[in-house]
Structure 1
Amino acid sequence: MRLPQAQVALLEAASATDAKTIEQLADETDLKPETVTRAAFDLRDEGLVAVGERVDESATLTDEGETYREAGLPEVRLHRAAREAGEGDPVPMGEAVGAAGLEGPEVDIALANYARKGYGVVDAGEVSANGDADPDTDPEAAALDALAEGESVDDADLLDRLESRGLVDLDERTVRSVTLTDDGVTALMEGVEAAETVDRLTPDLLTSGDWADVEFAEYNVEADAPAVEGGHEHVLRGMSERVKDVLVGMGFQEMDGPHADADFWINDCLFMPQDHPARTHWDRFALDVPPVADLPDGLVGRVEAAHRDGVGEDGDGYHSPWSEDFARAIALRGHTTSLSMRYLSGYADADLEPPQRYFSVQKAYRNDTLDATHLLEFYQIEGWVMAEDLSVRDLMGTFEEFYRQFGIEEIRFKPHYNPYTEPSFELFGEHPETGEEIEIGNSGMFRDEVLEPLGIECDVMAWGLALERLAMLTTGAEDIRDLHGTLADLEFLRNAEVTY
């Protein structure tokens, strides 16, 4: 029997009684593991060897895991400190944390795992220690020690928990082993001759006649190959570029401006009262930096007057505190409407001779509760149209045309209240997978209290749409956290496409 050299070497190294791994056979034959693997599958197809497979899982400590192995898990240190300081009584949180030597994120980690492990209770700013708990037998700490010593841990749930905490890295690999079959043993006894193996027919082989004496390699299209994940445009990037193309095609110009801006541009120009709940430190990301010094004095005065006294004969301001210092304070913008205020005021040197259309697709930042449709930062599709005699129908028609470009034919409108637009309404679309109606934007006609201080004498319709929620409608993503953030579904992102 004539076989390629690699197959002959593998047959001679394999055993009929002991299964040998690909790595062992590669060492014995001085061949690359991938060459041995290919030869093993070819011989298996000929019935000369059997190939077995098993999946081995290995765990290694991360840097954080090694740190906690040496210093102790945060929850274990907190229990010991609370037990020693309180001697059975609750201990103030600060005292227990300080005694445990916990710093930064270690505090949150300790509190998150303290009650779960039965170490005690954290309530009303105090920590109590369970005297019956024994931190010396903590299974997670024991597993870290075992892995550091090179020992195996057989508890899969425990390993998964350690991985979720970022303390270990789990790695799975397929281990293949080769055993001679009866036919393989027979072939060796009868004699196997190595033939030169080539993978292509060349002119030299044809002219020399050597083609008759060589063995041509067969291509095994079913052989395993490593997965290769190349670079891929993020679905939100693709959606952003598509949105820009659509709006430019509808006659809009793009706006640009700072992510951190004066509260004056973010809220005051929008007739948002300074004591509005959305402007407290709980909801806005205030920055500890010097205030903005350069604001247009005349505009500041007109905006303050609108807040205090209203606009027009029937206008009535908020009669609430208004501070120029607060207006100059800097925060991360909670919406990109701050750009609209800069442009409509002429501060950004925009052309304000009606009609005009402007848009932006940029990030905004809000201290929202994280859920399936909210993140702390998100992309907003900002836009406005300035013209004479605009109506709500013009605004609705603009949305219908815009969303039609993405294959979304049905948009529902719901009346809404905004301090800066009247009338106002929210937009809703139906999720293609869940059938749930999700809010995709907010819009309306800017009020006189917004436009008059800016010097605008015609109508302006405006909106802020959510890019991520548009992506959810077009890709079928059911959770905004599948699109970006620490929990993003990488497999989903590799396959998601912007199809319109």
Structure 2
Amino acid sequence: MQLPESQVAVLEAASADEATSVDALAEATDLPPETVTGAAFELEEEGLVTVEERVDETIELTEEGQEYADGELPEVKLYETALEAGADTDAVSMGQVIGGSGLEGDAVDIALSNYARKGYGSIDSGEITADPDADPAADAEASTLETLADDPDADSVDDDTLESLERRGLVEVVETTTREVTVTEQGVTELMAGVETAETVGQVTPELLTGGDWQDVEFADYNVEADAERFEGGNVHILRQTAERVKDVLVGMGFQEMEGPHVDADFWINDCLFMPQDHPARTHWDRFALEEPTHIDDLPEGLVADVERAHREGVGADGEGYHSPWDEDFARALALRGHTTSLSTRYLSGEEIGEIEPPARYFSVEKVYRNDTLDPTHLLEFFQIEGWVMAEDLSVRDLMGTFEEFYAQFGIEDIQFKPHYNPYTEPSFELFGTHPTTGELVEIGNSGIFREEMLEPLGVECDVMAWGLALERLLMLMYGFEDIRDIHGTLCDLELLRNTEVTY
């Protein structure tokens, strides 16, 4: 019997008494494992060997997981620092505890997102408390990391804890396919009768073609079922794809896009919105201020004076203003924008592109930053769909109709509205949509008609209806995501992103 050289080597190296792994055969024959695998499958088709497969799972710590196994989980470090600061008796400022913990960058987000979940305490309005009865030594995730660091094959690992660690990217469950080869009775018979090496050619060359030798040689079979290495190519993130689609929809509805700085003065972010300077949302706990530079240099003097007047005295015969402190130095303070309405105030005032004549429609789909408590529907940064329409005699009906037309483009036709209060719009209402998986109502945006106290200082003499919608919440309604941390941020689920079919 004649066989290709690789098949002869594998058949002679394999045993009829016990199964031999592909790796062992590769070492014995000095052939690559993939060549041995192909030869084994070809021999199996001839009935000369059997190939058995089994899938083994091994648990490996990621680089981040190994770091925490050697040290501490961020949430444990945050808890221990909170205890040292006395947060077990009275609430302590979150900035103080984070600064004392030494946590930086992504570790801060990770610590905050897991702190309350594990019962270490609570985080609310920029303050943190610590439960004195919490026991970091009993942290299942921490102890499991230590166990796996010492013994990757440990059998005592809890499945739920392992799933949580895998979701956090601290461990990887690696599946390995092991193939073992055993010589059959027919294979033994052929070996005893004698197996010769057949001259086979695996590739057609110019020499074979020009010399005519291709007619006399035996070509090796090409195994189309052989395993191939898997490559995960890059792809546009589903959030970015949806953002681009939102832009296309709004442009199709006659809107123009706005652009502007991520870091801006409180004047543009809040003062121009008729937001009082002593409003709780404007404290340093709810915003991300800049250390350097701390203030903006240039603000339009006339506009600053008009905005200050609106805050102090109000606008119109019935306007009273806030009768609250107003400080230009406070207005010049720089911070990461908490909403993209700062772009709207820049454009409406005429400072960005010049005076805009009605009717006009503008939008932006940009990132904003808020010092929120992390949960399935809140992140420290997210994308806001900002928009406004300037025209005469606008009404709430116009605003609702715009939303119904917009969301219908994404297959969402059950929008609900609830009256709401904003310092800068009257009337105001929130938008809600039904989550396709849970059936719960999810808040997806805020909107209203800009107040006269906001528009008059900006020099706008007609109606303006405006809104701020959450792009991530739109994704939740479109795809059924229940936790936006699965698609955005340091804990995102890469497999979920790779396997989710984008809807158009």
Which of the five TM-score ranges fits, normalised by the shorter chain?
Answer: 0.7 to 0.9
**1:230-273 CA distances to partner (integer Å, 9 max, x unpaired)?**
11111111111111111122221111111111111111111111
Which residues in structure 2 correspond to 1:11-26 (within 5 Å)?
Answer: 11-26=11-26
Counterpart of 1:9?
A: 9
Q: 353-362 or 273-282: which moved more? A: 273-282
Q: 339-348 or 288-297: which moved more? A: 288-297
Structure 2 CA distance for aligned equivalents of residues 124 and 413 of structure 1: 36
Structure 1 CA distance for aligned equivalents of residues 62 and 324 of structure 2: 54
Indicate conservation of the 8 Å contact 1:146/1:152, yes or no: no
CA change 1:489–1:59 in 2 (3 A) is closer
Structure 2 CA distance for aligned equivalents of residues 128 and 460 of structure 1: 53
Counterpart of 1:346?
A: 350
What amino acid is the match of 1:439? E
Check if 1:41 corresponds to 2:41: yes
Structure 1 CA distance for aligned equivalents of residues 77 and 479 of structure 2: 46
CA change 1:199–1:428 in 2 (3 A) is farther
Structure 1 CA distance for aligned equivalents of residues 73 and 451 of structure 2: 57
Q: Once the 2 structures are TM-superposed, how far is the Cα of residue 393 of structure 1 from its aligned partner? A: 1.7
Q: Secondary structure at the match of 1:438?
A: strand
Structure 2 CA distance for aligned equivalents of residues 61 and 249 of structure 1: 48
Check if 1:294 corresponds to 2:294: no
Q: Once the 2 structures are TM-superposed, how far is the Cα of residue 186 of structure 1 from its aligned partner? A: 1.6
Which residues in structure 2 correspond to 1:211-360 (within 5 Å)?
Answer: 211=215, 213-221=217-225, 223-289=226-292, 290-360=294-364
What amino acid is the match of 2:472? E
Counterpart of 2:463?
A: 459
Structure 2 CA distance for aligned equivalents of residues 245 and 390 of structure 1: 24
Q: Secondary structure at the match of 1:398?
A: helix
Check if 1:486 corresponds to 2:490: yes
Indicate conservation of the 8 Å contact 1:381/1:467, yes or no: yes
Counterpart of 2:51?
A: 51
Counterpart of 2:197?
A: 194
Q: Once the 2 structures are TM-superposed, how far is the Cα of residue 494 of structure 1 from its aligned partner? A: 1.4
Out of 401, 404, 411, the residue aligned to residue 407 of structure 1 is: 411
Indicate conservation of the 8 Å contact 1:73/1:141, yes or no: no
Counterpart of 2:481?
A: 477
CA change 1:207–1:126 in 2 (3 A) is closer
Counterpart of 1:97?
A: none
Q: Once the 2 structures are TM-superposed, how far is the Cα of residue 465 of structure 1 from its aligned partner? A: 0.9
**1:179-221 CA distances to partner (integer Å, 9 max, x unpaired)?**
2122221221122233233457889569837546514404343
What amino acid is the match of 1:431? H
Structure 1: 5+ residue runs without aligned partners? 79-84, 95-100, 117-122
Structure 2 CA distance for aligned equivalents of residues 77 and 240 of structure 1: 37
Structure 1 CA distance for aligned equivalents of residues 350 and 74 of structure 2: 55
Structure 2 CA distance for aligned equivalents of residues 436 and 266 of structure 1: 32
Structure 2 CA distance for aligned equivalents of residues 410 and 73 of structure 1: 43
Counterpart of 2:123?
A: none
Q: Secondary structure at the match of 1:426?
A: strand
CA change 1:228–1:77 in 2 (3 A) is closer
TM score, norm. by length of structure 2 = 0.81
Out of 402, 426, 430, the residue aligned to residue 422 of structure 1 is: 426
Counterpart of 1:32?
A: 32
Structure 1 CA distance for aligned equivalents of residues 433 and 72 of structure 2: 50
Structure 2 CA distance for aligned equivalents of residues 126 and 496 of structure 1: 39
Q: Once the 2 structures are TM-superposed, how far is the Cα of residue 343 of structure 1 from its aligned partner? A: 0.8
Q: Once the 2 structures are TM-superposed, how far is the Cα of residue 50 of structure 1 from its aligned partner? A: 2.3
Indicate conservation of the 8 Å contact 2:169/2:491, yes or no: no
Q: Secondary structure at the match of 1:417?
A: strand
Structure 2 CA distance for aligned equivalents of residues 364 and 75 of structure 1: 25
Q: Once the 2 structures are TM-superposed, how far is the Cα of residue 139 of structure 1 from its aligned partner? A: 6.7
What amino acid is the match of 1:23? D
Structure 2 CA distance for aligned equivalents of residues 38 and 439 of structure 1: 56
Give the RMSD, CA atoms, in angstroms.
4.1
Structure 1 CA distance for aligned equivalents of residues 157 and 195 of structure 2: 46
Percent identity over the alignment is 65
CA change 1:201–1:102 in 2 (3 A) is closer
Q: Secondary structure at the match of 2:191?
A: helix
**1:146-199 CA distances to partner (integer Å, 9 max, x unpaired)?**
46xxx9645444994887887776644222222212222122112223323345
What amino acid is the match of 2:393? D
Counterpart of 2:472?
A: 468
Which residues in structure 2 correspond to 1:150-229 (within 5 Å)?
Answer: 153-157=154-158, 160=162, 171-198=174-201, 204=208, 208=212, 210-211=214-215, 213-221=217-225, 223-229=226-232
Q: Once the 2 structures are TM-superposed, how far is the Cα of residue 463 of structure 1 from its aligned partner? A: 0.7
Q: Once the 2 structures are TM-superposed, how far is the Cα of residue 402 of structure 1 from its aligned partner? A: 1.6
CA change 1:442–1:124 in 2 (3 A) is closer
TM score, norm. by length of structure 1 = 0.81
Q: 254-263 or 399-408: which moved more? A: 399-408
Structure 2 CA distance for aligned equivalents of residues 488 and 183 of structure 1: 53
CA change 1:407–1:206 in 2 (3 A) is farther
Structure 2 CA distance for aligned equivalents of residues 43 and 473 of structure 1: 53
What amino acid is the match of 2:262? H
Structure 2: 5+ residue runs without aligned partners? 79-83, 93-99, 119-127
Q: Once the 2 structures are TM-superposed, how far is the Cα of residue 380 of structure 1 from its aligned partner? A: 0.4
Q: Once the 2 structures are TM-superposed, how far is the Cα of residue 470 of structure 1 from its aligned partner? A: 1.3
What amino acid is the match of 1:19? A
What amino acid is the match of 2:7? Q
Structure 1 CA distance for aligned equivalents of residues 492 and 68 of structure 2: 27
Q: Secondary structure at the match of 2:447?
A: strand
Query: How many residue pairs are counted as aligned between the two chains?
Result: 472
**1:393-437 CA distances to partner (integer Å, 9 max, x unpaired)?**
221222222222222233222221111111111112222233222
CA change 1:329–1:458 in 2 (3 A) is same
Indicate conservation of the 8 Å contact 1:14/1:180, yes or no: yes
